[in-house]
């Protein structure tokens, strides 16, 4: 792996809540256009890891670099940094009192300082990208879970992020609605977006990821190309976990 196309570098991230060590010295790099999937039992620190990367949580130790520049404890520049990291949560986190269009527009107006017309055009473009231009005037309560999640993906994309973080983007959805969301994510991967995805959708992770990291007890127990983790995992724990979810 060359280092020049590294976008994101995570070095020795550690975080405890009380006496519980939730992340133990996590390190990895992400290349431009790479999709890295994180799998593993719940409670192993996957969400905490993503939150430390975009500084929603301040890690106890360790560093995060974007384009070689350290962003941990970014201080006054934190909002500038966050604007470059798109985050998609399990529960969408849309504003209920705003339409789909407004949900996508709002950060363009407030954070990017775009003019109304320009913001609207960009928001409509992003809604079109996730197949929801015709739902622009709907409120979140009038959307299906799959549509709401696609709006939140459009909202993240509208900021033109360098990296997208997905935290179990389909686990709050009814099974028949996961496909439309996974399709949007797959298309992003194919178009060269750099992404970290926490997911229990094993088959999806196997088909989309360049590398899969199996997390357990706050560490990356094992990592490698999807086929290696599927066919010849080094650890029995990885085999058990991957096997269980592959059947879903
Ligand atoms: N804000 C918090 N305060 C205290 N404990 C937390 C907090 N966030 C997460 N935890 C704990 O840290 C552990 C890892 O959580 P999390 O990162 O959400 O795991 P995962 O996403 O892999 O399910 C869990 O035991 C969880 O209860
Ligand atoms: Mg989680």
Residue nearest to atom 2 of ligand 1 (CA): 17
Sign of the CA dihedral 96, 98, 104, 108? Answer: negative
CA-to-CA distance for 28 and 211, rounded, in angstroms? 11
CA-to-CA distance for 146 and 61, rounded, in angstroms? 37
pLDDT (0 to 100) of residue 72: 84
Average pLDDT of the residues in 233-243:
84
CA-to-CA distance for 223 and 213, rounded, in angstroms? 4
CA-to-CA distance for 205 and 198, rounded, in angstroms? 9
Ligand 1: distance of its center to the CA of 59 in Å? 13
Q: Which residues line ligand 1 (CB under 6 A)?
A: 17, 22, 42-48
Q: How confident is the model at residue 79 (pLDDT cuts 50, 70, 90)?
A: confident
Residue nearest to atom 24 of ligand 1 (CA): 43
Ligand 2: distance of its center to the CA of 51 in Å? 10
Q: Is-contact 129 158, C-beta < 8 A?
A: no
DSSP string covering 43-91: TSSHHHHHHHHTTSS--SEEEEEETTEE-TT-GGGHHHHHTTEEEE-TT
Residue nearest to atom 3 of ligand 1 (CA): 17
CA-to-CA separations, 112 to 136, 181, 189, 226, in angstroms, rounded: 20, 26, 25, 37
Q: Is the pLDDT of residue 76 over 70?
A: no
**To which residue do tokens 């060590």 refer?**
21
Q: Is the pLDDT of residue 246 over 90?
A: no
Mutating to test ligand 1, I would choose from 48, 172, 220 the residue with most ligand atoms within 8 A of its C-beta, which is: 48
Q: Is the pLDDT of residue 74 over 70?
A: no
Q: Is the pLDDT of residue 9 over 60?
A: yes
Mutating to test ligand 1, I would choose from 15, 43, 198, 199 the residue with most ligand atoms within 8 A of its C-beta, which is: 43
* Cβ-based burial of 117 (10 A; exposed 0-12, middle 13-18, buried ≥19): exposed
pLDDT (0 to 100) of residue 229: 86
Distance of CA 84 to the CA centre of its chain: 12
Q: Give 210's DSSP letter.
A: S
Ligand 2: distance of its center to the CA of 112 in Å? 29
CA-to-CA distance for 50 and 195, rounded, in angstroms? 11
Ligand 2: distance of its center to the CA of 171 in Å? 10
For the stretch 105-156, pLDDT in tens is 999 999 889 999 999 999 999 999 999 999 999 999 999 999 999 999 999 9
Ligand 1: distance of its center to the CA of 124 in Å? 36
User: Which runs of E-coded beta strand occur in 85-224?
Assistant: 85-88, 163-167, 195-198, 211-216, 219-224
CA-to-CA distance for 57 and 15, rounded, in angstroms? 9
Burial 47-75 (b: 16+ CB within 10 A, else e): bbbbbbbbbebebeebebbbeeeebbebe
């Amino acid at each position: 792996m060359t280092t020049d196309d590294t976008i994101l570098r995570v070095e020795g991230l550690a975080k405890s809540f009380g006496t519980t060590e939730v992340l133990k010295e996590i390190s990895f790099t992400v290349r431009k256009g790479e999709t890295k999937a994180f799998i593993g039992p719940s409670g192993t620190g996957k969400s905490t890891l993503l939150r430390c990367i975009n500084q929603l949580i301040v890690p106890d130790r360790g560093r995060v670099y974007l384009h070689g520049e350290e962003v941990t404890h970014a201080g006054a520049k934190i909002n500038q940094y966050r604007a470059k990291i798109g985050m998609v949560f399990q529960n969408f986190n849309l504003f209920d009192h705003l339409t789909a269009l407004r949900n996508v527009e709002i950060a363009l107006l407030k954070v990017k300082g775009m003019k109304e017309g320009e913001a609207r055009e960009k928001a409509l473009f992003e809604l079109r990208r996730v197949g929801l231009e015709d739902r622009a005037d709907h409120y979140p309560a009038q959307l299906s879970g799959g549509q709401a999640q696609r709006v939140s993906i459009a909202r993240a994309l509208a900021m033109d992020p360098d990296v997208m973080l997905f935290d179990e983007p389909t686990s709050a959805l009814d099974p028949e609605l996961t496909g439309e969301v996974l399709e949007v994510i797959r298309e992003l991967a194919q178009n060269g977006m750099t992404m970290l995805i926490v997911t229990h959708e094993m088959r999806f992770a196997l088909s989309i990821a360049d590398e899969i990291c199996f997390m357990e007890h706050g560490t990356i127990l094992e990592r490698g190309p999807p086929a290696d983790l599927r066919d010849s995992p080094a650890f029995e724990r990885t085999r058990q976990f991957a096997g269980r979810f592959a059947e879903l």
